[in-house]
């Protein structure tokens, strides 16, 4: 078991290094540079742009830039964000907690809702409620994320007077009591987290329902039913443990989303998180910021898949002795 | 509507520039009358402005975004401020700021500024002439890479004879020397920045937490969320009427509009044409329309994209360019793309300049004339495929357009259709901004729908359309060269009277219109939405925010956020 994880960690390091190299080369190969937008201003002369390129080392050969970048990363220096004029670490440190908070709540909401819907569907399998919930899940699955986000924004902000975007009320926040600040944060978090939950739940519900339907014909379930265990207990306490395994795989895949966020959700709700940071760094060709964000994303993918493996082994004893 | 007011300001006569020497006494009388305290205007209230993105830095010498410019202009002061007429010749119309008066040397090669002794930085330290010397060094130090250094090229040095006197020395006389020197530099605190220079400047504390001398002081910046400014109640020019200005970031336009409709924001600086009608219906909002300083155009590449020394296979021919210009119904294109929120552009200039004559002779739309000209030039559709040919060359070209501008993308489609009707095939190439700019910079295009945002001075035309800008590093991406045009622009920029300037510029513009290196499309207006309780004054075309300190909210119309006692 330990050897397995050591091997996976080493593989993970290679994956991260490869991802970092590929993204570094790709973003540098893309047309334009970080100062492209400034070229729209005729007062910014080529000599100024050259000064800027020199200041950021962008006038050096690509190979040298790469080696310098790698050396800096090993020293713990992720560089200086060109579009934000601050250390990359500082820009990431601002955005990451916001995204982690939003995505964690979104995932928890999505999983809780998805599993609950699946359980209700299975308990009423083949009946109208099962079909209705299946249809609702399919509808949410098919809705584009930006469309759903706009729908939630427009409807709930006007009907229920939720705040329109942002993480806090920029006008009143400093003048609120500690309790008022907490409520303000929750109110700002509610709509984007709800939207994410609504986007995640159909995936979970459909997987969980299929998994439960697969487990229910098992002999141990038949035995439990023969012993007189009621349907509710049967599903919750007997079928669920085995049926959760495939959903855990989804959790492993969804984990990296904790970092990269949901770009459209963050944009629509003006949520100051990683998703929007990454997209704007691509648009602005902010090489250091984008590369660092992608490295962080790759680390999350590796950690996510390791966690999924660990959980799998925890829940399925047959896998523990596998090499 | 404020439009009329703005128009009146734009056509206001500009005083003739006369190189002169005046005494301090006379100037004090003329200049220091500026803004006296007004007891009748109520103070208090919060203005919330929604913008699309965070600024990259708040240090004026290296900031390039509009948001940074807004904050920079509110937090920092210049020595003097350009007037509403946007006159850039001499010092006519300039208002005193950190300098309470100034005196020209007899030879006009220096201007001595008398600093306002009451001016203080927001940390309480007095503003002194040494700050002016420091600021000039910071802007002009090539190591700092300030994009504005080029405007200071005519400044030889800045000296401080005493703590309240700063002298700017010029290398040579020019009508715009005062504007170039004064308008470029936001005066910075030497005692805070010290000896920081080069890349270290970008990570200096002042880059994210400015300490200025303007009527608003910086409070805090929550990255990607908001920036808060508060009234500097002890300011040497009187406290602003508003208590706070909060700039909130909403990258998505739908969110920004929802914030406006929901009352979370008071102002949106640029609203899309499609939303104007809805906002106009909102009884709590006002739509403000001002002339802008933007124009856009189809720019033809006069050089071969593969071999820059050769003429372009199509657009090297002046008559073909003129025929294509005749083929476009620009009025209908602009009407379709902007509704009534833009005028048809009249050349490489904007109507807001007092030097622009809006009655310049245009190549008026006439499809029949275009077809006749193309026929006469030998462009015929011999194989009936809808596209003309001549000597085996098809009348077909790519038209690159940035996807960031919906109006330009819409215009590209209309242009494609109108050119099709005269037998010219256009392939639209929509690109993201970095790729679009890269294409322009490398001159690897047939035609682009470009756009310029111009400064208050019309001198930028030399760089964007003059021969000097046609060099590889210049901004004249289409490589248009005409020595007669260059000469007229040079004469205009050297002229000392508005009439003379206007006359030379008109001749220059007429030359370029007739040569048709571009088809001038639209001159969009700035369309802003503002909450009705906000009383706006002095919306300058180049900087609508310039007079925010004079904006106010009547006590009877205040809402909850206006009544917060900031106590800061």
For the domain that residue B87 is a member of, what is the CATH number?
A: 3.90.76.10
Q: What is the DSSP string of B252-313?
A: SHHHHHHHHHTTS-SEES---HHHHHHHHH-TTEEEEEE--SEEEEEEE--B-SS-TTSBPT
Q: What is the DSSP string of A71-106?
A: HHHHTT---EETTTTEEHHHHHHHHHHHHHHHHHHH
Q: What local confidence, expressed as pLDDT, does residue B152 receive?
A: 93
> H helices within B174-272, ranges in order?
177-184, 190-193, 199-202, 253-261
Rounded to 5°, angle at Cα A61 from A60 and A62: 115
Highest mean pLDDT: which of A14-23, A115-124, B422-431? B422-431
* Cross-chain Cβ contact B262/A167 below 8 Å: no
Q: Could you tell me the two tokens for B338?
A: 């902007």
- The neighbouring-strand residues paired with B221 are B227
Q: What local confidence, expressed as pLDDT, does residue A261 receive?
A: 60
Q: What local confidence, expressed as pLDDT, does residue B53 receive?
A: 84
Cβ(B297)–Cβ(B450) under 8 Å?
yes
Contacts of B453 in chain A (CB under 8 A): 40-41
Angle, to 10 degrees, between the axis of helix B498-515 and the axis of helix B318-327?
Answer: 90
DSSP reduced 3-state for A45: coil
How confident is the model over A91-102, as a mean pLDDT? 90
Q: Of B199, B434, B439, which is closest to A285 when you measure between CB atoms? A: B434
The chain B residue lying nearest A269, using CA atoms, is B255
* Cross-chain Cβ contact B434/A37 below 8 Å: yes
On whether both B304 and B192 belong to a single domain, the answer is no
Q: Of B142, B434, B463, which is closest to A32 when you measure between CB atoms? A: B434
Cβ(B2)–Cβ(B536) under 8 Å?
yes
* Cross-chain Cβ contact B46/A55 below 8 Å: no
B233: in domain: no
B125: in domain: yes
CA distance B401 to B408: 7
On whether both B196 and B303 belong to a single domain, the answer is no
Q: What local confidence, expressed as pLDDT, does residue B22 receive?
A: 33
On whether both B298 and B164 belong to a single domain, the answer is no
Looking at per-residue pLDDT, the higher value among A169 and B4 belongs to A169
Contacts of B151 in chain A (CB under 8 A): 43
Is this complex scored with an ipTM above 0.85?
A: no
CA distance B128 to B164: 6
DSSP reduced 3-state for A49: helix
On whether both B302 and B191 belong to a single domain, the answer is no
Residues 205-264 of B with CB under 8 A from A: 207-208, 222-226, 228, 244, 246, 248-252, 254-255, 258-259, 262, 264
CA distance A131 to A120: 11
For the domain that residue B393 is a member of, what is the CATH number?
A: 3.10.105.10
Residues 143-202 of B with CB under 8 A from A: 143, 145-151, 198-199, 202
Nearest Cα neighbor of B489 from B470, B520, B511 is B511
DSSP reduced 3-state for B244: strand
B258: in domain: no
DSSP reduced 3-state for B333: helix
Q: Is B477 left (phi over 0), alpha (psi -120 to 50) or beta?
A: alpha
Cβ pairs bridging A and B (under 8 Å): 173
Tell me how many helices (H) and strands (E) chain A has.
14, 2
Cβ(B17)–Cβ(B92) under 8 Å?
yes
How confident is the model over A65-91, as a mean pLDDT? 90
B240: in domain: no
Mention every residue, 6+ apart, whose C-beta is less than 8 A from residue B514.
B322, B363
Contacts of A170 in chain B (CB under 8 A): 48, 222, 225-226, 228, 246, 248
Cβ-based neighbour number of residue A99 at 10 Å: 25
Q: What local confidence, expressed as pLDDT, does residue B316 receive?
A: 95
Q: What local confidence, expressed as pLDDT, does residue A38 receive?
A: 60
Domain carrying residue B163:
77-201
Helix (H) or strand (E) holding A307: helix A287-315
Compute chain A's Rg from CA coordinates. 24
- The neighbouring-strand residues paired with B311 are B303
* Cross-chain Cβ contact A165/B473 below 8 Å: no
Minimal CA separation from A145 to chain B, in Å: 14
On whether both B182 and B305 belong to a single domain, the answer is no
Domain boundary among B201, B221, B236: B201
B220: in domain: no
B452 in reach of chain A (CB within 8 A): yes
CA distance B338 to B335: 5
Q: In this structure, what are the phi and psi dihedrals at residue A170, rounded to the nearest 5 degrees?
A: -65, -20
On whether both B306 and B455 belong to a single domain, the answer is yes
On whether both B174 and B304 belong to a single domain, the answer is no
Q: What local confidence, expressed as pLDDT, does residue A14 receive?
A: 93
B286: in domain: no
Q: Of A36, A56, A153, which is closest to B434 when you measure between CB atoms? A: A36
DSSP reduced 3-state for B16: coil
User: What are the strands, taking DSSP E only, across B445-547?
Assistant: 447-453, 518-520, 522-524, 526-531
B40: in domain: no
Q: In this structure, what are the phi and psi dihedrals at residue B422, rounded to the nearest 5 degrees?
A: -110, 10
Q: How far apart are the first and last CA of chain B?
A: 36
On whether both B194 and B299 belong to a single domain, the answer is no
User: Best interface-test mutation with B: which of A29, A30, A35, A39 has the largest number of B CBs within 10 A?
Assistant: A39
Minimal CA separation from A11 to chain B, in Å: 35
Cβ-based neighbour number of residue B164 at 10 Å: 18
Percent of chain A with pLDDT over 70: 92
Q: What local confidence, expressed as pLDDT, does residue A320 receive?
A: 63
Residue B52: alpha-carbon gap to chain centroid: 17
| Number of domains forming the structure of chain B | 2
* Cross-chain Cβ contact B437/A36 below 8 Å: yes
Contacts of B246 in chain A (CB under 8 A): 170-171
Cβ contacts of A100-105, under 8 Å, gap ≥ 24: A100/A258, A100/A259, A101/A189, A102/A189, A102/A192, A102/A193, A102/A196, A102/A261, A102/A265, A102/A266, A102/A271, A102/A273, A103/A196, A103/A257, A103/A258, A103/A259, A103/A261, A103/A262, A104/A258, A105/A189, A105/A193, A105/A196, A105/A197
Minimal CA separation from B69 to chain A, in Å: 14
| pLDDT tens readout for residues A259-298 | 666 788 888 888 888 888 888 888 888 999 999 998 888 8
On whether both B311 and B196 belong to a single domain, the answer is no
On whether both B300 and B411 belong to a single domain, the answer is yes
B241: in domain: no
| pLDDT tens readout for residues B329-363 | 999 999 999 988 999 999 999 998 989 999 999 99
Q: Is B459 exposed, middle or buried (0-12, 13-18, 19+ CB in 10 A)?
A: buried
Q: What local confidence, expressed as pLDDT, does residue B551 receive?
A: 96
Q: Which residues of chain B have pLDDT under 70?
A: 1-40, 473, 565-568
Helix (H) or strand (E) holding B220: strand B216-222
Q: What local confidence, expressed as pLDDT, does residue B3 receive?
A: 36
Contacts of A160 in chain B (CB under 8 A): none
Q: What local confidence, expressed as pLDDT, does residue B410 receive?
A: 95
Q: What local confidence, expressed as pLDDT, does residue B565 receive?
A: 61
Q: In this structure, what are the phi and psi dihedrals at residue A73, rounded to the nearest 5 degrees?
A: -60, -40
On whether both B197 and B298 belong to a single domain, the answer is no
Q: Of A31, A42, A272, which is closest to B223 when you measure between CB atoms? A: A272
Cβ(B222)–Cβ(B167) under 8 Å?
no
CA distance B404 to B442: 20
Q: What is the DSSP string of B409-467?
A: HHHHHHHHHHHHTTT-EEEEEEE-HHHHHHHHHTT--SEEEEEEEPPSSGGGHHHHHSG
Contacts of B452 in chain A (CB under 8 A): 40, 42
Minimal CA separation from A23 to chain B, in Å: 17
DSSP reduced 3-state for A259: helix
B457 in reach of chain A (CB within 8 A): no
């Amino acid at each position: 078991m330990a050897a397995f994880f050591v091997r996976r960690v080493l593989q993970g390091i290679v994956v991260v290094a490869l991802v970092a190299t590929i993204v570094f080369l790709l973003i540098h190969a893309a047309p334009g540079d970080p100062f492209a937008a400034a070229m729209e201003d005729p007062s910014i002369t080529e000599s100024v742009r050259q000064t800027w390129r020199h200041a950021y080392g962008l006038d050096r050969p690509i190979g040298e830039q790469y080696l310098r970048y790698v050396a800096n990363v090993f020293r713990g220096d992720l560089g200086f964000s060109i579009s934000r004029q601050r250390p990359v670490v500082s820009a990431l440190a601002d955005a990451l907690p916001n995204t982690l908070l939003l995505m964690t709540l979104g995932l928890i909401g999505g999983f809780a809702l998805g599993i609950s819907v699946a359980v209700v569907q299975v308990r009423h399998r083949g009946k109208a409620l099962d079909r209705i919930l299946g249809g609702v899940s399919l509808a949410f699955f098919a809705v584009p994320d930006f469309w759903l986000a706009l729908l939630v924004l427009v409807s709930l902000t006007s009907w229920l007077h939720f705040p329109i975007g942002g993480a806090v009320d920029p006008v009143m926040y400093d003048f609120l009591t500690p309790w008022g600040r907490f409520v303000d944060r929750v109110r700002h978090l509610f709509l984007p987290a709800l939207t994410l939950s609504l986007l995640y739940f159909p995936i979970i519900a459909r997987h969980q329902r299929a998994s439960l339907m697969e487990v229910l014909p098992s002999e141990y379930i038949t035995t439990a039913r023969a012993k007189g265990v009621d349907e509710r207990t049967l599903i919750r306490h007997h079928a669920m443990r085995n049926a959760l395994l495939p959903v855990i795989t989804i959790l492993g895949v969804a984990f990296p989303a904790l970092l990269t966020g949901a770009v459209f959700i963050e944009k629509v709700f003006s949520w100051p998180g990683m998703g929007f940071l990454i997209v704007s760094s691509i648009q602005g060709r902010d090489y250091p910021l984008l590369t660092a964000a992608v490295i962080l994303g790759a680390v999350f993918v590796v950690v996510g898949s390791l966690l999924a493996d660990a959980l799998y082994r925890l829940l399925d004893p047959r896998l523990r002795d596998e090499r | 509507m404020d439009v009329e007011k703005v128009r009146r300001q734009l056509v206001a006569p500009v005083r003739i520039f006369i190189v002169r020497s005046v005494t301090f006494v006379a100037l004090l009388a003329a200049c220091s009358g500026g803004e006296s305290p007004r007891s009748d205007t109520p103070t208090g209230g919060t203005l919330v402005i929604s913008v699309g993105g965070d600024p990259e830095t708040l240090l004026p010498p290296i900031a390039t975004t509009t948001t940074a410019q807004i904050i920079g202009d509110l937090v920092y002061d210049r020595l003097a401020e350009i007037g509403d007429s946007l006159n850039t010749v001499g010092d006519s119309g300039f208002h005193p700021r950190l300098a309470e008066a100034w005196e020209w040397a007899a030879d006009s090669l220096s201007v001595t500024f008398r600093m306002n002794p009451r001016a203080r930085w927001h940390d309480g330290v007095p503003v002194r002439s040494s700050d002016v010397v420091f600021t000039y060094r910071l802007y002009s130090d090539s190591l700092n890479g300030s994009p504005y250094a080029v405007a200071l090229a005519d400044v030889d040095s800045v000296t401080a004879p005493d703590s309240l006197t700063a002298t700017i020395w010029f290398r040579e006389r020019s009508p715009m020397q005062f504007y170039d020197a004064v308008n470029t530099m936001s005066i910075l605190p030497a005692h805070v920045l010290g000896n920081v220079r080069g890349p270290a400047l970008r990570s200096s504390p002042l880059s994210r937490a400015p300490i200025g001398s303007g009527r608003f002081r910086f409070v805090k910046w929550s990255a990607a969320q908001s920036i808060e400014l508060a009234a500097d109640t002890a300011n040497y020019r009187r406290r602003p009427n508003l208590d706070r200005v909060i700039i909130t970031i909403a990258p998505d336009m739908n969110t920004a509009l929802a914030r406006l409709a929901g009352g979370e924001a008071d102002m949106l600086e640029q609203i899309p044409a499609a939303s104007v009608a809805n906002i106009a219906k909102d009884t709590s909002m006002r739509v403000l329309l001002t002339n802008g300083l933007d124009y856009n155009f189809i720019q033809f590449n006069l050089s071969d994209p593969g071999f820059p020394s050769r003429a372009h296979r199509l657009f090297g021919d002046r008559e073909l360019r003129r025929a294509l210009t005749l083929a476009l119904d620009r009025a209908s294109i602009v009407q379709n793309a902007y509704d009534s929120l833009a005028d048809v552009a009249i050349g490489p200039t904007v109507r807001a300049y007092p030097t622009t004559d809006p009655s310049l002779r245009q190549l008026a739309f006439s499809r029949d004339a275009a077809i006749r000209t193309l026929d006469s030039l030998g462009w015929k559709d011999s194989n009936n495929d809808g596209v003309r040919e001549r000597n085996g060359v098809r009348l077909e070209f790519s038209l690159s357009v940035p996807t960031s501008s919906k109006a330009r993308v819409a215009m590209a489609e209309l242009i494609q259709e109108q050119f099709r009707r005269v037998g010219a095939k256009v392939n639209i190439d929509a690109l993201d901004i970095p790729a679009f700019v890269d294409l322009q910079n490398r001159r690897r295009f047939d035609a682009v729908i470009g756009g310029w945002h111009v400064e208050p001075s019309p001198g930028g035309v030399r760089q964007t359309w003059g021969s000097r800008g046609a060099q590889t590093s210049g901004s004249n991406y289409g490589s248009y060269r005409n020595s007669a045009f260059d000469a007229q622009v040079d004469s205009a920029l050297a002229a000392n009277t508005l009439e003379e300037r206007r006359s030379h510029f008109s001749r220059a513009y007429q030359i370029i219109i007739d040569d048709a290196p571009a088809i001038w499309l639209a001159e969009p207006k700035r369309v802003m939405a503002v909450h009705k309780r906000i009383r706006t004054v002095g919306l300058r075309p180049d900087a609508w925010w310039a007079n925010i300190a004079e904006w106010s909210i009547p006590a009877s119309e205040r809402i909850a956020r206006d009544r917060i006692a900031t106590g800061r």
